Structure 1
């Protein structure tokens, strides 16, 4: 029977986690699942805009729980890279490799501003508000801080690294984890 590889990529907003998760999925021939995409699918299923669903998160934990259950199901199916704030926490021991990416606030805010087409100041304000709100929600609902690096196997600061150099580092680390665990997967 073929072993099933499960890799999770979490991290601070603007750290490059979505990009790296997609690159890892492609390199290891794994499925790519994004918690953000699952959230957008729930909004679409309910027929409401994403920003409306976002405003319901603080008062309605069922939305988070729906995403969590879908994340767990994807991890159980295996051969997947799951990206999201809680992906490492939700996959738990099903994850062969839990990755956390971080970067300095200055770098993160510049990256987000460039991606979103807004000012660095606006990026800073909205990102800090979002991360504070998320952190409080996660602690309240789960009793955990998913931004705590001790929950992860691999922690990388991407502040001075290019996308390519970050990927090279992660690819080698993941290959070694898979090799040491004796997993065949799709690699």
Structure 2
């Protein structure tokens, strides 16, 4: 089973994906890690690279292509794979597509804790990055990042901790497996 997990910055996709990966003992692929690696290769932080990507649509196209290719390779080697990224559900053929939503205050607090930055700085970065990504995704792929119809399951992660979120996804996997 291939599972995609998508959501905006700070919605908990990475944390929940890692927990789920451990619980299922399956590989986990992060588009964010690929994006951060691409930024580091150009000596840029994520925000700088995000702005750079606005002017260079090949960055997003390359990222989406890399993610889909790596996911296919992992799926050939393993029965189950978790692919986490903003657009994973759009570019990876998956059996279960999960979308995370969360209030901006919750997302901001999570990133503040993770990156040890002041709340207002993080909130401004989230808004800037979200606007940049939404613009790029629409211009390059015609994707409205706020359209949730592609997802089989949508979880408001502001209401649950990461462990419970992984448990919810596990229950859905259990139901899907029973139906097959």
Aligned CA RMSD, in angstroms, stands at 1.7
CA distance in 2, matches of 1:102, 1:166: 12
User: After superposition, where does 1:11-90 map in structure 2 within 5 Å?
Assistant: 11-43=7-39, 47-51=41-45, 53-77=49-73, 78=75, 79-90=80-91
Conserved 8 A contact 1:9-1:99: yes
Distance in 2 of aligned mates of 1:121 and 1:74: 36
Q: CA deviation at 1:156?
A: 0.4
Please give the TM-score of this superposition, normalised by the length of structure 2.
Answer: 0.88
Distance 1:156 1:72, change over 3 A: same
Q: Which runs of 5+ in 2 are unaligned?
A: none
Q: Give ranges in structure 1 of 5+ residues lacking alignment.
A: 183-187
Q: Is the 8 A contact 2:50 2:133 kept in 1?
A: no
Q: Distance in 1 between matches of 2:145 and 2:95?
A: 17
Q: CA deviation at 1:76?
A: 2.2
Moved over 4 A (4+): none
Change (3 A) 1:124 1:53: closer
TM-score, normalised to structure 1, is: 0.85
The separation in 2 between residues aligned to 1:157 and 1:54, in whole angstroms, is 25
* 3-state DSSP of counterpart to 2:159: coil
* Post-superposition offset of 1:117: 1.0
